[in-house]
Amino acid sequence: MTIVRPFAIALAALAAALAPVAQADTLIENIQGISVDRDGKVTRFTAMWIDDDGRVKQLLDRKDKRPKRTDFAVDGNGAYVIPGLIDSHLHMMGLGFAQLTIDLSDTKSLAEAQAKIRAYAAKHPDRRWIVGGGWNQVNWGLGRFPTAAELDAAVPDRPVLLERVDGHAVWANSAAMAAAGITAKTANPAGGRIERVAGGKTPAGVFVDRATALFDAVVPAPRPEDRDLALAKAQELLLSKGVTAAADMGTRIEDWQSFRRAGDLGWLRMRIMSYASGIDAMALIGGPGPTPWLYKDKLRLNGVKLYLDGALGSRGAWLKQPYADDAGNTGLPLMTGAQLRNMMSRAALDKFQVAVHSIGDAANAEVLDAIAEMTDTYKGDRRWRIEHAQIVSPSDIARFGKYGIVASMQPTHQTSDRIMAEARLGPDRLAGAYAWRSIAAAGGHLAFGSDAPVEAPDAFAGIAAAISRTDADGQPFGGWMPQEAITREAALAAYTSGGAWAGFAEGRFGELKPGEWADFVIVDRDPLMASPADIRATKVQETWVGGERVYSAK
């Protein structure tokens, strides 16, 4: 998309002279525009008129009369324009920090890993510690753990600490062990093991399970400038994926301060709907209630994120019946029902929105019970959110509709998890697993996200999974529990208008329609027409937020 004829008219020149903040309005012509409302109703248009402020002024079809004069006219060259994508569940700072650490998951040998670590350290002379992960000695054909000496060979001058791919071990160099005060005299902590050099007590460099905690106190906490850099990296990545707004699930005060610095200093280019990490952070960040929308609707503390249970993979999800692959274990709630209700009340009293992480069917039932009990007390438009809503008893699904609950789900979790989920649940308890179609049919409000950095923040992969229940390889053929697939329109809505509604942002962004911010993505294909595989392959060419181009692939 190129700006073909910028022209300033007399009126605009006068306006600029009188009001230094005034921008110019823009007509984007010759596009194939798509917007979808929460009911899946699609609007198509061929031109979009954006006002001075960066809001949509008018959508025009081919036959509509064009405005007589605009400050700028842009030729879209037939590009596909869709609303800016909304990721309704991710972790901004986690995603950013993941970009700032070294990833060894693609290394095929120890030597290759050493070379990558060496290069990374050389590229980042200002990092006091080199941290990262992803290594797997099995992939290296090593037949043993790597050693501190082998890491010293890559980086001798600074501490290096690298997590194994499964998160159950760390590999440290000598400087890291020295920083942590670890010597031959250091005993194995309970639940942990320090690998030792053969025939001696000298630590070998790998620390397993609880022994990894020996480093907790010495790995430096990120500095504010590190946090700001992480935020900038996360934003850059998201905008390159066409994500113009995100719900940050678990904002701490330090994170919030980074968001505000970005806003104050003018480099916040996407929109963040924040959910504080617990009740204390909520009260500290929001005070007596949610913050106003700040920085032209780029930032708001909406509410609080609470955790009721853990994850399915680690058998932390709270199930009604024991795990199929772990008899007698049902997982555990992370708090009592009374604690959950107290926290939900505390938040709801001050009109904070409540988002509860619930994976297992017992956890989902508990949250649904709590919401049911609270609807009489906390009236009005509450939009209770259940995050993940992964395993829900079929008999509980109707309650999503009854109480108007937001089901904040992550389609790619379904494709990533399906084999694991079958093992954990067995064949007879899958009816309510990742059941977005059933939840929507019952009247629940879908909002889709990625859970990045757990999954890549790729909404096109999410849409493909949501409509096909197949993964990137097209597996399983015909889809996993394909009756839960939804239409392209519904999937796109859950990534746009649905995500906006889930964050009280409807009317501000989420659709391309007059009065909303001109947040849009220029892509190379029509997501409502392409096959699942083609949708996955969508290329983001440009991303615009509030009428400004904030990313270009060129």
Binding site for a second copy (CB under 8 A): 11, 14-15, 18-19, 21-22, 223-225, 227-228, 253-254, 257-258, 260-261, 264-265, 283-288, 291-292, 294
Residue 181 CA: distances (Å) to CA of 133, 184, 220, 544 = 22, 10, 15, 50
Residue closer to a second copy by CB (options 53, 422) is: 53
CB closer to a second copy out of 78 and 287: 287
Q: Which is nearer to a second copy, 14 or 178 (CB)?
A: 14
Which CA distances in Å does 371 have to 97, 240, 318? 34, 37, 18
Q: Which is nearer to a second copy, 187 or 265 (CB)?
A: 265
Q: Which two tokens stand for residue 181?
A: 């005060």
Closest to 369 measured CA to CA, from 331, 343, 340: 340
Gap between the Cα atoms of 419 and 313, Å rounded:
10
Q: Name which of 361, 284, 351 is nearest 318 in CA terms.
A: 361
**Alpha-carbon distance values, 455 to 104, 250, 438, 503 (Å):** 17, 16, 24, 21
Rounded to the nearest whole angstrom, what is the least distance from the CB of residue 20 to a second copy in the complex? 9
Collapsed DSSP state (helix, strand, coil) of residue 208: strand
| Residue with tokens 């000598």, as numbered in its chain | 174
CB of residue 115 to a second copy, shortest distance in Å: 32
Nearer to a second copy, 25 or 361 (CB): 25
Which residue number, 244 or 258, has a Cβ lying nearer to a second copy? Answer: 258
Distance CA 19, CA 542 (A): 29
Q: Is the dihedral of CA 276, 277, 281, 282 positive or negative?
A: positive
CA atoms within 13 A on the CB side of 127: 23
Minimum CB separation of residue 15 from a second copy in Å reads 4
> Is the Cβ of residue 125 or residue 328 nearer to a second copy in the bound state?
125
Q: How far apart are CA 526 and CA 524, in angstroms?
A: 7
> What minimum distance in Å lies between the beta carbon of 59 and a second copy?
23
Closest separation between CB of residue 507 and a second copy, Å? 19
Least distance from a second copy to the Cβ atom of residue 16, Å: 9
State the alpha helices, DSSP H only, in 124-169.
148-152
To a second copy, the closest distance from the beta carbon of 253 in angstroms equals 7
Phi, psi (degrees; rounded to nearest 5) at 209: 50, -125
State which residue, 21 or 217, has the beta carbon closest to a second copy: 21
Helices (H), ranges, 350-404: 361-374, 394-402
Nearer to a second copy, 150 or 228 (CB): 228
Q: Which amino acid is at 157?
A: D
Pairing of strands 243-251, 203-209: unpaired
β-pair partners for 32:
80
**3-class DSSP state of 14:** helix
Distance (Å, whole) CA 526 – CA 538: 9
Angle in degrees, 0-180, between the axes of helices 361-374 and 394-402, rounded to the nearest 10: 30
Within 13 Å, how many C-alpha atoms sit on residue 59's CB side?
A: 22
Minimum distance of a second copy from residue 19's CB (angstroms):
3
Cβ closest to a second copy, residue 292 vs residue 427: 292
- Closest separation between CB of residue 52 and a second copy, Å? 9
Comparing CB distances to a second copy, the nearer of 228 and 458 is 228
Task: For tokens 């179609």, name the residue.
Answer: 437
Q: How far is CA 334 from its chain centroid?
A: 22
Kindly state the smallest distance separating residue 28's Cβ from a second copy, in Å.
23
14's CB contacts (< 8 A; 6+ apart) are: none
In the complex, what is the shortest distance from the CB of residue 470 to a second copy, in angstroms, rounded to a whole number? 44
Residue among 22 and 324 whose Cβ is closer to a second copy: 22
What minimum distance in Å lies between the beta carbon of 402 and a second copy? 33
